[in-house]
Structure 1
Amino acid sequence: MTDMEKMKLLTGESDEELLSLLLEDAEAYVLAYTGRSNIPEQLEKTVRDLAVVAYNRIGTEGETGRSEGGESYSFDSAPKNIYDIMDRYRLVRCGGYAYEKK
């Protein structure tokens, strides 16, 4: 099953262009955060998780919380467990360079 098919199942969204954009943005974020040049297989789910978080945040960008109909919601940038996983694959910089196993 492709990432696109998984995203469709997770979100119920059929707009492939939107889902593709969310996946691309999530991948770029993971690469920038970890300092890597490609996504290891172990981080593919993390990319999808970030894309789902971004999908769920559509329409609430910039908000930290909301109250409606007696219910309160608070928003994090991303759940801590996603950062915990990315931290395990983050490259250490030494002398201004990050050395990645090819």
Structure 2
Amino acid sequence: MTDLEKLKKLTGESDEELLSLLLEEAESFVLSYTNRKKITSGLDKTVRDLAVIALNRRGTEGEDSRSAAGESYSFESAPKSIYEILNKYRLAKIGGKVHETKAE
């Protein structure tokens, strides 16, 4: 099952163009944050999780919190658990360069 198919199942969203865009942006964020050139197998789920978060937050972009009908909601940039996973895969820059092991 592809990531797009998994995302459709997880969210119930049928707009494949939207879901593809969210996956693409989530992957770009993960690659940028971890200083990697490609997604490793341990980051696949994190990319999907970020895409789901982005889908659920549509319409609340730029908000830190919201109150309505006696209920309050606060928004983080991403849950701490996401950053804990990303930090495990983050590569350090040495002399402004990233040294990533090449796949065999």
- Superposition misfits of 4+ residues, deviation over 3 angstroms: none
3-state SS of paired residue (1:100): coil
Shift of the alpha carbon at 1:93?
A: 0.9
- Pair 1:35-2:73 in alignment: no
Give the aligned length: 102
Shift of the alpha carbon at 1:62?
A: 0.3
Structure 2 unaligned spans of 5+ = none
**Aligned sequence identity (%):** 67
Shift of the alpha carbon at 1:101?
A: 0.4
RMSD of aligned residue pairs (Cα, Å): 0.5
3-state SS of paired residue (2:101): coil
Alpha-carbon separation, structure 1, partners of 2:9 and 2:67: 28
3-state SS of paired residue (1:18): helix
Structure 1 unaligned spans of 5+ = none
TM-score scaled to structure 2, two decimals?
0.96
Matches within 5 A, 1:1-102: 1-102=1-102
Shift of the alpha carbon at 1:100?
A: 0.1
Alpha-carbon separation, structure 2, partners of 1:81 and 1:33: 15
TM-score scaled to structure 1, two decimals?
0.98
The residue type equivalent to 1:76 in the other structure is E
